[in-house]
Amino acid sequence: MKTVYFTHSLDSCWNHGNAHFLRGVMSELTARGHLAEAWEPRDAWSRANLVADHGEAGLEPYKRAYPELQSHRFDPPLDLDRALEGADLVIVHEWNDPALVAAIGRRRATGRFTLLFHDTHHRAVSEPEAMKAFDLSRYDGVLAFGETLAEVYRQWGWGDRVFVWHEAADTRLFRPPTVEQDREGLVWVGNWGDGERTAELERYLFAPTAATGLGLDLYGVRYPEAAKRMLSRYGVRYHGWLANAAAPQVFARHLATVHVPRRFYVEQLPGIPTIRVFESLACGLPLVSAPWSDSEGLFDVGRDFLMVRSSSEMAEALRALKSDPGLRAELAAHGLAAIRARHTCAHRVDELMAVLERLGAVAPSPQMEIAE
């Protein structure tokens, strides 16, 4: 099977979390003998910011981790004859130009491929009119990264052609260290964004960490000067951008991490954790989470990770992790087992194949192709 994925960027994970999951899925497809390629605009905002901050060297961690992956960069208008040549499955991410989304849909009318729209963001509830402007009339289905988002599309008339496709960890890359090393303090990897969770970060991360004296190493981008001053007040060590491919090595040096969901995913799209939850648990890193509703039962809350309801509860949980190696080991083992049992990119590729079967587009196995 040949899969073509239209993304904002495969090359860059600078403020672009979808790249994490896409790399893992494409790597898994490739390992199974399928062809997988991505197309991204040459002027992609994420890649441009990465290169501006770190030069071309900023791309090297990704290239070293995923030498098997390829991405075609294009200047609009894209030659769709070339991009879609030989495609069996085409997936278009929601962070694409609406004109391109519509043009690919028009090609579906005369093409033999299955065409899916992939939504991994909160714009369906935060900017519904912008999402409704996409012409998806010729698309075969929608992949939504959580049940509450899928329900939005059902209300828009997609019925049984919308499928829940959660993000997951690439366990070829995200795994516990082969050799344990000394660990200390907390680590948090996340972007400031537009300040939509400033109060939550202060309540559930900065203040409790300072109160426990654990120390906090923080990685991420788009931190304005006011945010950096806040970090300084709480004694947070700010390191800037971290290549996602380097995250497992950073996780391996720390005792635990914290999950602070964005407000949209607490109030309007519950049940959708950030991909960092999957990745940190896959590395055997104990995690404490601010409140969110695991409405789909993705995890065994309290065993795979701890969840707290207040700043004081967070401080109490962090003190317990600091002082109790047994608790850290128990959480690490349960969280890792949950990922390996249900939440790897291999699981998501299996789910993708099931979607194709539901749509009547069963992908041939590599063995079948060779036999023919």
pLDDT, tens only, 299-324: 999 999 999 999 999 999 999 999 99
Closest CA relative to residue 20, chosen from 264, 353, 223, 279:
279
Task: Please report the pLDDT score of residue 363 as a whole number.
Answer: 55
Mean pLDDT of 209-226: 97
Task: Please report the pLDDT score of residue 221 as a whole number.
Answer: 97
Task: Please report the pLDDT score of residue 311 as a whole number.
Answer: 98
pLDDT at 267 over 50: yes
Task: Please report the pLDDT score of residue 193 as a whole number.
Answer: 79
Question: Per-residue DSSP letters for 125-154?
Answer: HHSHHHHHTS--TT-SEEEESSHHHHHHHI
Task: Please report the pLDDT score of residue 271 as a whole number.
Answer: 96
Closest CA relative to residue 237, chosen from 252, 261, 220, 260:
220
pLDDT at 366 over 80: no
Residue 164, H or E segment: strand 162-164
Q: Which of 77-81, 109-113, 157-161, 246-250 has the lowest mean pLDDT?
A: 109-113
Cα Rg of the chain (Å, integer):
21
Mean pLDDT of 174-185: 97
Task: Please report the pLDDT score of residue 70 as a whole number.
Answer: 87
Question: Average per-residue pLDDT in the chain?
Answer: 95
Closest CA relative to residue 275, chosen from 17, 61, 66:
17
For residue 274, which amino acid is it? T
Mean pLDDT of 214-228: 97
Task: Please report the pLDDT score of residue 185 as a whole number.
Answer: 98
pLDDT at 372 over 80: no
pLDDT tens by residue, 19-75:
999 999 999 999 999 999 999 999 999 999 999 999 999 999 999 999 999 899 999
- Contact residues for 329 (Cβ-Cβ < 8 A; gap 6+): none
pLDDT at 371 over 50: no
Task: Please report the pLDDT score of residue 362 as a whole number.
Answer: 59
pLDDT tens by residue, 144-167:
999 999 999 999 999 999 999 999
CA distances (Å), origin 121, targets 81, 206, 329, 332: 29, 26, 33, 28
pLDDT at 368 over 50: no
Angle among Cα 138, 139, 140 to the nearest 5 degrees reads 120
Q: Helix, strand or coil for residue 359?
A: coil
Judge whether 145 and 120 are in contact, CB under 8 Å.
Answer: yes
pLDDT at 339 over 60: yes
